[in-house]
Chain A
């Protein structure tokens, strides 16, 4: 009786090497998790966090081969030799993309998937599924088709499917990646609640700043497959390289004090308020079909040379629908879109592409060619450029994204970050006057996306840059104009310093004030402008 209860999860001296690799993906990992604790597992991509998760949930060695040493104990019992279904009754895993985790066409089917696999009779399944849905307060979704739920709902549905197996340990793989700020915050609160009910939770996330809102008890920071830091949050703030993961702005500012930082200078031309607009929306309304609700309600907007515009808004606010109109991929139901004075209804997309280059969110949705060179030539060739012109554009584009050595590699064989750069370059090569990007930072870790944005904004050749984002920080660092969409309407349009002042409004728009925004507002009397955290260091005392 007096013997202490074994901990829910203990990892001892764990190392693993994939069969196909020469070196270990993770080395000498030690950690433990108590009931009710949340552990944040942070690190940039390739640091081994995915491999560590696979070892814990049993996918290694069940589905991936390699050499494993060390031990994983769940409630004092080694998981070696256990079936996956046995492990998953203790350890539930939420994969990064709920879109890929959800297997059921309907919500209730999704939640019951694991129970069906365990061969539970229907009448035992239903109460368990209801309980799981109720726990996340989404019972009302039960008869909905999973495809038609929102991003935040999808994640909760996927989580309910995991909770239905009644695990006491949860592994969450970048659970915030696909969510807008408000949904991400809600999700985090839900995780805290589950921990308070006694579950042990491990969250893999590089948006460290956001996760701190729910005060994780422990932090594990990995680099190159090894533990770089293991302890409480306060210690992490002092030890970890602040350019690698996203720490709170005040921490970065304090630690960057006295250090030299490269100057960032965007290269769009000076703004001329009196110039002809490059792009103009005139009372644009849109609905997909006559019997479906209107998605855009009277959009008015002029884009001029010299503007760097961030379009903010919650998921489903109409951001993507709006920018698709700019290129003519969608045509307004009423109102007009003019591109360099030409009505989009009278022009082809191929013509519009000469003015607007549109980079889609996910590179894998567009890459197809057998070499990078061919991929970059595709756009300009379609636009009817001469052979010499195509070659020149391709060279310039590949230079800009720094991938010269990959010209004859198949794009599909590149890493995600490289693919992202190729997808940008394949739009750059059309030499459009406006660059328009949908969620340019999605899927990249903090360090990668910052350097990526710095490069793009400093690339000469664009009259204007427009990007869609959830991330308030991107808007206030990079944009000189912010447009906020809410429910298909523009609810704010102006300089970031004017738009992002009112915290109440920001919350109403389902955006979340960030630590960087707060710090900037605090220091406003001294700075007179919005800056990145490193630059703010000179203004703090």
Chain B
């Protein structure tokens, strides 16, 4: 099994933004978007998120798996929970409201009644904007971050060296462990292990993964003694380290950070000082349903 990472240098505007500034922006957007249900604010944030996403110049082919996941999530969250059952809106939208089809409707010669309210439709739209904004900001990270940049980024954001380096070291061992897993899988198949099938009850079926799980895990643990020695022998952790990977703030990075802070501050101010935090349906939207 060969692991492939999605990062590539695309010479996009995103590639020229300092990763620290990118993380600050992404989290500012996350907190801003989750601070309010006000549709206008959410709409503005949604536009900002789209702009941000476009700056990464990712193709559909790059990200389609991610969007597939997000679609599944949005479907359950919005179509199933909010539109059909109503539970998805229950935390925000008060019970009652104006029915979309007050008298029910006819379809294929049959009569249906369906308790969907105008409020829930509007809420679904707000939900969509909020979750898409967050998704747009975060889905691009693996495609736009060099694996060599994580350690120094988090270290410079104030994380202790040992923690920051852990992530970097994880990247190093992923392809090795994936290969080891393949070897173990082959070795056990040579002893008659089959991927699917297998008899026995529920617990037995679960235990069937043990011949794969145990060798790979124990092997990794045994090798960690040597790895730790290799690190100690080259002075790991004796003092604050430097990093080969170079980070450099440019004026636009500072601008982005200032923008992020202002964005978050404005949203928080509007939400909590001017009471624009709560869910409300604009009058014109009701109008669409009053024929």
User: Which one of B168, B193, B237 contacts A117 once the chains associate, using CB atoms below 8 Å?
Assistant: B237
CB distance from A165 to the nearest CB of B (A): 7
A105 touches B171 (CB 8 A): yes
A430 touches B191 (CB 8 A): yes
User: Which one of B194, B215, B228, B241 contacts A365 once the chains associate, using CB atoms below 8 Å?
Assistant: B215
Which B residues lie within 8 Å of A88 (CB)? 233-235
CB distance from B187 to the nearest CB of A (A): 4
A378 touches B231 (CB 8 A): no
B162-202 CB contacts (< 8 Å) to partner A: 168-169, 171-172, 175-176, 180, 183-184, 186-194
B238 touches A117 (CB 8 A): yes
Most buried by B among A357, A366, A379, A427: A366
CB distance from A362 to the nearest CB of B (A): 8
Q: Which residue of chain B lies nearest to A378 when distances are taken between CB atoms in the complex?
A: B191
* Cα distance A276–B192 in the bound complex, in angstroms: 25
CB distance from B167 to the nearest CB of A (A): 11
Q: Is A84 an interface residue (CB 8 A)?
A: yes
Which B residues lie within 8 Å of A100 (CB)? 223, 226-227, 230
* Cα distance A85–B188 in the bound complex, in angstroms: 42
* Cα distance A348–B192 in the bound complex, in angstroms: 9
Whether A114 contacts B214 in the complex (CB less than 8 A), given A365-B187, A379-B192, comes out as no
Q: Which residue of chain A lies nearest to B183 when distances are taken between CB atoms in the complex?
A: A365
A165 touches B232 (CB 8 A): no
Q: Is B72 an interface residue (CB 8 A)?
A: no
Stretch at the interface among B15-23, B38-46, B58-66, B242-250: B242-250
Which B residues lie within 8 Å of A427 (CB)? 190-191
B229 touches A382 (CB 8 A): no
Binary per-residue interface labels of chain A (368-379) against chain B in the complex, 1 for a CB within 8 Å, 0 otherwise: 100000000011
Which A residues lie within 8 Å of B223 (CB)? 97, 100
* Cα distance A125–B241 in the bound complex, in angstroms: 12
Which A residues lie within 8 Å of B147 (CB)? 105
Which A residues lie within 8 Å of B57 (CB)? none
Most buried by A among B193, B230, B238: B230
Most buried by B among A99, A108, A383: A99
CB distance from A89 to the nearest CB of B (A): 9
CB distance from B223 to the nearest CB of A (A): 5
Which B residues lie within 8 Å of A165 (CB)? 234
Which A residues lie within 8 Å of B215 (CB)? 364-368
CB distance from A512 to the nearest CB of B (A): 27
Q: How many residues of B contact A (CB 8 A)?
A: 50
B244 touches A125 (CB 8 A): yes
User: Which one of B210, B235, B245 contacts A114 once the chains associate, using CB atoms below 8 Å?
Assistant: B235
A84 touches B187 (CB 8 A): no
A109-125 CB contacts (< 8 Å) to partner B: 109, 112-122, 125
Stretch at the interface among A56-64, A493-501, A522-530: A56-64
Which B residues lie within 8 Å of A382 (CB)? 191-194
Q: Which residue of chain B lies nearest to A62 when distances are taken between CB atoms in the complex?
A: B232
A360 touches B244 (CB 8 A): no
A109 touches B184 (CB 8 A): no
Which B residues lie within 8 Å of A47 (CB)? none
Q: How many residues of A contact B (CB 8 A)?
A: 66
Whether A85 contacts B238 in the complex (CB less than 8 A), given A147-B176, A353-B191, comes out as yes
Whether A95 contacts B229 in the complex (CB less than 8 A), given A350-B192, A430-B191, comes out as yes
B239 touches A119 (CB 8 A): yes
* Cα distance A219–B258 in the bound complex, in angstroms: 67
* Cα distance A383–B192 in the bound complex, in angstroms: 6
A117 touches B191 (CB 8 A): no
Q: Which residue of chain B lies nearest to A111 when distances are taken between CB atoms in the complex?
A: B244
CB distance from A279 to the nearest CB of B (A): 15
Which A residues lie within 8 Å of B148 (CB)? 105-106, 109
CB distance from A46 to the nearest CB of B (A): 17
DSSP majority for the A interface? helix
Q: Is A12 an interface residue (CB 8 A)?
A: no
Which B residues lie within 8 Å of A99 (CB)? 176
Binary per-residue interface labels of chain A (398-418) against chain B in the complex, 1 for a CB within 8 Å, 0 otherwise: 000000000000001000000
Which B residues lie within 8 Å of A113 (CB)? 231, 234, 236
CB distance from B174 to the nearest CB of A (A): 9
User: Which one of B171, B187, B230, B242 contacts A101 once the chains associate, using CB atoms below 8 Å?
Assistant: B230
B232 touches A84 (CB 8 A): yes
Binary per-residue interface labels of chain A (109-153) against chain B in the complex, 1 for a CB within 8 Å, 0 otherwise: 100111111111110010000000000000000000111000000
Which B residues lie within 8 Å of A426 (CB)? 191
B233 touches A84 (CB 8 A): yes
Q: Which residue of chain A lies nearest to B234 when distances are taken between CB atoms in the complex?
A: A114
A93 touches B233 (CB 8 A): yes
Q: Is B13 an interface residue (CB 8 A)?
A: no
Q: Which residue of chain A lies nearest to B214 when distances are taken between CB atoms in the complex?
A: A368
Whether A112 contacts B234 in the complex (CB less than 8 A), given A99-B176, A412-B218, comes out as no
* Cα distance A84–B190 in the bound complex, in angstroms: 45
Q: Is B222 an interface residue (CB 8 A)?
A: yes
Q: Is B12 an interface residue (CB 8 A)?
A: no
CB distance from A36 to the nearest CB of B (A): 23
Q: Is A104 an interface residue (CB 8 A)?
A: yes
* Cα distance A93–B176 in the bound complex, in angstroms: 22
* Cα distance A492–B169 in the bound complex, in angstroms: 43
A368 touches B210 (CB 8 A): yes
Which B residues lie within 8 Å of A24 (CB)? none
Q: Which residue of chain B lies nearest to A147 when distances are taken between CB atoms in the complex?
A: B175
B234 touches A366 (CB 8 A): no
Q: Is B104 an interface residue (CB 8 A)?
A: no
B241 touches A119 (CB 8 A): yes
Q: Is B240 an interface residue (CB 8 A)?
A: yes
A324 touches B186 (CB 8 A): yes
Whether A122 contacts B238 in the complex (CB less than 8 A), given A103-B231, A109-B148, comes out as no
Which A residues lie within 8 Å of B194 (CB)? 348-350, 382
A117 touches B241 (CB 8 A): yes
* Cα distance A57–B232 in the bound complex, in angstroms: 10
B240 touches A430 (CB 8 A): no
Q: Is A327 an interface residue (CB 8 A)?
A: yes
* Cα distance A115–B227 in the bound complex, in angstroms: 17
* Cα distance A114–B175 in the bound complex, in angstroms: 23
Which B residues lie within 8 Å of A225 (CB)? none
CB distance from B42 to the nearest CB of A (A): 39
User: Which one of B176, B192, B228, B243 contacts A349 once the chains associate, using CB atoms below 8 Å?
Assistant: B192
Q: Is B34 an interface residue (CB 8 A)?
A: no
Q: Which residue of chain B lies nearest to A352 when distances are taken between CB atoms in the complex?
A: B190
* Cα distance A161–B228 in the bound complex, in angstroms: 15
Q: Is B98 an interface residue (CB 8 A)?
A: no
Whether A329 contacts B190 in the complex (CB less than 8 A), given A118-B235, A364-B222, A365-B180, comes out as yes
Q: Is A358 an interface residue (CB 8 A)?
A: yes
B186 touches A122 (CB 8 A): no
Which B residues lie within 8 Å of A145 (CB)? 175
Q: Is A83 an interface residue (CB 8 A)?
A: yes
Q: Which residue of chain A lies nearest to B243 when distances are taken between CB atoms in the complex?
A: A116
A151-183 CB contacts (< 8 Å) to partner B: 161-162, 165
CB distance from B124 to the nearest CB of A (A): 42
* Cα distance A350–B192 in the bound complex, in angstroms: 4
CB distance from A410 to the nearest CB of B (A): 11
Given A147-B175, A324-B186, A382-B191, output 7 extra A-B contacts at Cβ < 8 Å.
A95-B226, A100-B223, A103-B169, A108-B244, A120-B242, A364-B215, A365-B183
Enumerate the 10 nearest inter-chain pairs by beta-carbon distance, A residue then B residue, closest first: A382-B192, A85-B235, A114-B234, A368-B214, A117-B235, A379-B191, A100-B226, A366-B187, A358-B190, A147-B175
